[in-house]
Amino acid sequence: MDDESTSQPHGHATIPPDDLRRKLTIAQPDAKTGLVHISVAGDTYTILVSGEDTAGHSCLIDMYVPPGGGPPPHRHNFEEVFTILEGEIELVFRGRKSVGRTGDTIHIPSNAPHSFKNLASKSARLLCFCAPAGLDEFFELVGDPVGSRTAPPPKLNDQEKMERMKKAVALAPQFVTELLLP
């Protein structure tokens, strides 16, 4: 046999010892306490597993997206995977539209322009996995805390909405994110 047929795809790395400082995380999205629920641009995002929980490797966010909700066009340098638990969304990826429905899983490669919107008459629910983490922290900095996974967003006037958007635009580069606003 030649060396190619016996080599392993990722080399011969040694697995480091278990880091006993890291803890098991069990998230209960509908629990009354213990999780952070954040309203961002009318959606409610619940941080199930934070970057702090994973030593920065990844985060998992439960996204409750009401009719008309969804983020503006943007791109970032991390991988993003959505699984649609309920409802459907219209996804725009590199300018092309498609529809994701309950049960679909969607992978967004890093740096690719994308957005999504709930065009249906009922709310959608998505799980969003990001690697590495950071989106969770960004949402905490730009959003407004709310009481639960399905809590309505706070009523913001036009000035407050503009302030939130300015804050998001100012903080985006710190999280290697670009908002693709007109």
65, part of any domain:
yes
Q: Is this prediction's pTM over 0.85?
A: yes
> How many domains does the chain divide into?
1
113, part of any domain:
yes
pLDDT digits (tens, 9 = 90+) for 14-67: 999 999 999 999 999 888 778 999 999 999 999 999 999 999 999 999 999 999
Q: What angle do CA 54, 88, 99 make, to 5 degrees?
A: 100
182, part of any domain:
no
How far apart, in whole angstroms, are the C-alpha atoms of residue 50 and residue 121?
30
115, part of any domain:
yes
Check whether 10 has a pLDDT greater than 70.
no
Check whether 1 has a pLDDT greater than 60.
no
How far apart, in whole angstroms, are the C-alpha atoms of residue 176 and residue 163?
20
Q: What is the CATH number of the domain that holds 100?
A: 2.60.120.10
105, part of any domain:
yes
pLDDT digits (tens, 9 = 90+) for 125-141: 999 999 999 999 999 99
Q: What angle do CA 181, 145, 101 make, to 5 degrees?
A: 60
Give one word for 140, left, alpha or beta, with left for phi > 0 and alpha for psi -120 to 50.
Answer: alpha
Question: Which residues are within 8 A (CB) of 121 and not within 5 positions of it... i.e. 6 or more apart?
Answer: 67
45, part of any domain:
yes
108, part of any domain:
yes
Residue 116's domain spans which residues?
A: 35-150+157-175
44, part of any domain:
yes
3-class secondary-structure state, position 166? helix
How far apart, in whole angstroms, are the C-alpha atoms of residue 86 and residue 153?
19
